[in-house]
Amino acid sequence: MNKLALVTGATSGIGEAFAERLATDGYDLILVGRRKDRLEEFAAAHPGVFVRSVVADLSTDTGVDTVAEICAAEPLTMLVNNAGVAHYMPLAELPADKARELVHVKVVAPTLLARAAVAGMQERGEGQIVNVAGMIAFSGPADKSVMPRRAVYAGTLAHLVALSQTLSAELADTGVQVQVLCPGVVATEFHSRQGLDLSAVPRMTPEDVVTASLRGLELGEVVCAPGVEDAGLLDAVFRAGLAAFGGQSPRLASRYRDA
């Protein structure tokens, strides 16, 4: 049986780069996106590869349910939760429909698709789930000078980090790997669709991001940060978080007690 990968947000950027690389590596593909024409173009350009195109909008319950059913029914070797939107703006200015879309695409969809896929992967004793987040997941402590404002977007990416780390621990010794992929600024359409011109900013290519992800899986990395040379920086962040978690007590901390 050929390896089978499902990639969301597969019509451009990192998702398309995953599709290209996995096709080269001999995977059959289920590609999910909102743009039917681009999905068809990819399939036509890869006549020697099995490509199933699924047009679905992951900002909707119907779209998520459609893809979740496929994740549960198909013997996936790999699930790449890549679909994304940004909507960079202060929370008070973020329209409710855009906030809902963002949370649905970056929290609800990857959570439910992973949930749908993981049981079958466990039964088969193998599988890989890649959740595409970004280094903005670690930007929460930044001060007010950091622009643009993006509280909801940063929060959704932080969710993917915690979800992936915890799920990885749940799946220890099952043969199923979980990775959260955290690139920095990448040369894709992502920012231009938000009206941001980052052409003058040094950016990583989508192909390099995919190379890092696949090599990170080989290395057993749960958090893959393609542009961070010193992986010890990430280890320090996580050790500090666990230290704070372990440092709690049922006794009220002294700073909160009456003087």
- Annotated active-site positions, please? 153
Residues 6+ apart with CB under 8 A from 201: 185
Q: From CA 259, how far away is CA 241, in angstroms rounded?
A: 29
Residues 6+ apart with CB under 8 A from 152: 87, 91, 94, 99, 102, 103
Cα 87 versus chain centre, distance: 16
Residue 98's CB is within 10 A of a number of other CB atoms, namely: 16
- Cα within 13 Å of Cα(228), Cβ side: 20
Beta bridge partners of 176: 127
